């Protein structure tokens, strides 16, 4: 048995995978509390992740009806970019600032300027720093909480922190490290000169985790923790990775030609590449993957976070929300939403707010509002897809995951707006599955390959397949043109368009 863990923004999920039976035999999750404040503050207490892990682990084992001693390895996926700063005792000096925190936008802009603008960032890091990356969070902590900053002994990402708790080892791997803003994604090494611009008082050799390869073990579960959880001694903890990297593995996106799209709290698009990629767009993050390759990626800040807020404002249950937006026509009878409730990363508008355009006395209905927010989210992902350039043009399929992937109407909308066939894997919690597959790959080194594991365990659900409907594709071209004009008029984003 192999345990996959996904520590996300809203919850920690645990799955137990039986590799030989090709089955998930147990799964469970526990929610997290999000700390929200003015100026885009989004934080969590790392201790909440540990409590959620314990609860989800116990329930998953019980549901599987197994002895926990049958688990041979654990893989951990975590939300990217979060800053977990620890003191000498391994305790957080401040709550973890999350990927969706935009309070550090000014610090990010300052760092980009000091590194030589977009060209300087690309030269030093292989990508352009974005608000939400770890670098600006550390700069913010240095300026606003100097006492906490001076206590820092270790700097970890959320998945690194869970690995540290499991094993006592401070390690990281290239995929998740790519999103820190002080890691060179081409050479797969910490960029200590960039780190010195951010935190000159901190010694990178002391505070940054040791880098390991994707197939290497982070360590073994600590004996005391193994006894507490009922695990056998010597349980392997794999390198793990960011949720996007492990989600790619969990959809089988480990070779060129596939696009993974996630409709979670955020929206993400990623494509696999065998080497570093330059697309010509600063919005594309040239991340490394967690399987030894590269994973160029775009991330929008508002996906199900936006649809959930509209649904809750209207007082609708999830099923009713889905029925409402499916009943409204393409274009929501003229209502267009730019759903930038948490600012936005793609396009790069960290301080933006949301807009509802085209409201009239006749089109202001619940159904049209529901449709408008789902369309706004999906049009933003079409914008992001275009930033991937030739990688998007080569794609023959979008593998759709996340909460939004469960909606047939939303799957069809993605196919119609992008013009690319869509299908979901049977397991839509792909990051947790990907973590379990990576754990098996790590523990079974020499006896199997990650490609073989993905071929066996990533199964597509043909009932979810959505082919682009020609008439709808044409209708959405007009809606997308209006979306691009609104971006230009409201936020100064160029209306120039590029075909994927």
**Which residues are catalytic, by number?**
243
- Euclidean distance between CA atoms 242 and 284, whole angstroms: 16
Helices (H), 8-133: 46-64, 105-114, 117-125
DSSP string, 281-313: -TTSEEEE-SSSSEEEEEEES-SHHHHHHHHHH
- Euclidean distance between CA atoms 469 and 134, whole angstroms: 41
As a residue count, the chain comes to 500
Phi, psi of 126 (to 5 degrees): 85, 5
CA angle 383, 389, 395 (to 5 degrees): 95
What ranges make up the beta strands (E) of 310-354? 336-338
Label residue 132 left, alpha or beta by phi (over 0 means left) and psi (-120 to 50 means alpha).
left
DSSP element (H, E) containing 202? none
- C-alpha distances (whole Å) from 456 to each of 19, 73, 182, 425 are 9, 18, 36, 12
- C-alpha distances (whole Å) from 84 to each of 9, 81, 163, 380 are 14, 9, 12, 30
Instruction: Output b/e per residue, 472-493; b: 16+ Cβ within 10 A.
Output: beebbeebbebbbebbeeebeb
Q: Are strands 355-357 and 336-338 parallel, antiparallel or unpaired?
A: antiparallel
Q: Name the β-bridge partners of 259.
A: 271, 398
All residues at 6 or more sequence positions from 227 whose CB lies less than 8 Å from its CB, including other chains:
none
- Euclidean distance between CA atoms 62 and 56, whole angstroms: 10
- Euclidean distance between CA atoms 126 and 172, whole angstroms: 19
- Euclidean distance between CA atoms 10 and 56, whole angstroms: 13
Instruction: Report the candidate in 477, 350, 325 with the shortest Cα–Cα distance to residue 404.
Output: 325
- Euclidean distance between CA atoms 4 and 440, whole angstroms: 10
Instruction: Report the candidate in 46, 70, 59 with the shortest Cα–Cα distance to residue 14.
Output: 59
DSSP string, 135-172: HHHHHHHHHH-HHHHHT--EEE-HHHHHHHHHHS--EE
Q: Name the β-bridge partners of 24.
A: 17
């Amino acid at each position: 048995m192999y345990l996959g863990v996904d520590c996300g923004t809203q919850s920690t999920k645990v799955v137990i995978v039986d590799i030989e039976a090709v089955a998930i035999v147990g799964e469970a999750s526990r929610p997290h509390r999000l700390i929200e404040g003015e100026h885009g503050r989004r934080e969590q207490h790392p201790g909440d992740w540990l409590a959620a892990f314990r609860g989800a682990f116990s329930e998953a084992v019980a549901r599987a009806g197994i002895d926990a001693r049958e688990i041979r390895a654990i893989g951990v996926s975590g939300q990217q970019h979060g800053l977990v700063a620890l003191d000498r005792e391994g305790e957080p000096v401040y709550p973890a600032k999350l990927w969706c925190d935009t309070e550090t936008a000014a610090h990010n802009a300052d760092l980009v300027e000091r590194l030589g603008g977009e060209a300087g960032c690309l030269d030093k890091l292989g990508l352009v720093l974005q608000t939400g990356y770890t670098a600006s969070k550390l700069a913010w902590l240095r300026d606003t909480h100097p006492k906490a900053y001076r206590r820092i002994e270790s700097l970890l990402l959320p998945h690194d922190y869970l690995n540290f708790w499991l094993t006592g080892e401070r390690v990281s791997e290239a995929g998740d490290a790519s999103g820190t803003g002080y890691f060179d994604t081409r050479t797969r090494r910490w960029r200590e000169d960039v780190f010195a611009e951010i935190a000159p008082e901190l010694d990178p050799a002391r505070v940054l985790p040791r880098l390991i390869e994707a197939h290497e073990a982070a360590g073994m579960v600590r004996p005391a923790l193994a006894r507490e959880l009922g695990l056998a001694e010597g349980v392997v903890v794999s390198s793990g990775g960011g949720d996007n990297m492990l989600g790619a593995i969990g959809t089988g996106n480990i070779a060129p030609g596939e696009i993974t799209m996630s409709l979670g709290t955020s929206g993400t698009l990623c494509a696999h590449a065998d080497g570093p990629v330059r697309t010509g767009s600063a919005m594309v993050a040239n991340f490394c993957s967690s399987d030894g390759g590269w994973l160029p990626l775009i991330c929008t800040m508002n996906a199900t976070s936006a649809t959930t807020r509209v649904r809750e404002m209207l007082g609708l249950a999830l099923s009713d929300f889905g029925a409402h937006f499916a009943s409204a026509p393409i274009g929501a009878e003229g209502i267009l939403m730019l759903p930038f409730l948490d600012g936005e990363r793609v396009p790069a508008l960290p301080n933006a707010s949301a807009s509802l355009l085209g409201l009239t006395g006749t089109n202001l209905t619940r159904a049209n509002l529901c449709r408008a927010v789902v369309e706004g989210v999906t049009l933003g992902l079409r914008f992001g897809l275009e930033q991937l350039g030739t990688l998007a043009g080569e794609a023959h399929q979008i593998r759709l995951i996340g909460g939004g992937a469960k909606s047939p109407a939303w799957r069809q909308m993605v196919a119609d707006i992008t013009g690319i066939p869509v299908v979901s894997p049977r397991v839509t919690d792909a990051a947790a599955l990907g973590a379990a597959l990576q754990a098996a790959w790590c523990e079974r080194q020499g006896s199997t390959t990650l490609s073989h594991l993905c071929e066996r365990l990533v199964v597509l659900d043909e009932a979810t397949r959505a082919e682009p409907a020609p008439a709808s594709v044409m209708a959405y071209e007009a809606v997308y043109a209006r979306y691009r004009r609104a971006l230009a008029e409201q936020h100064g984003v160029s209306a120039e368009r590029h075909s994927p």
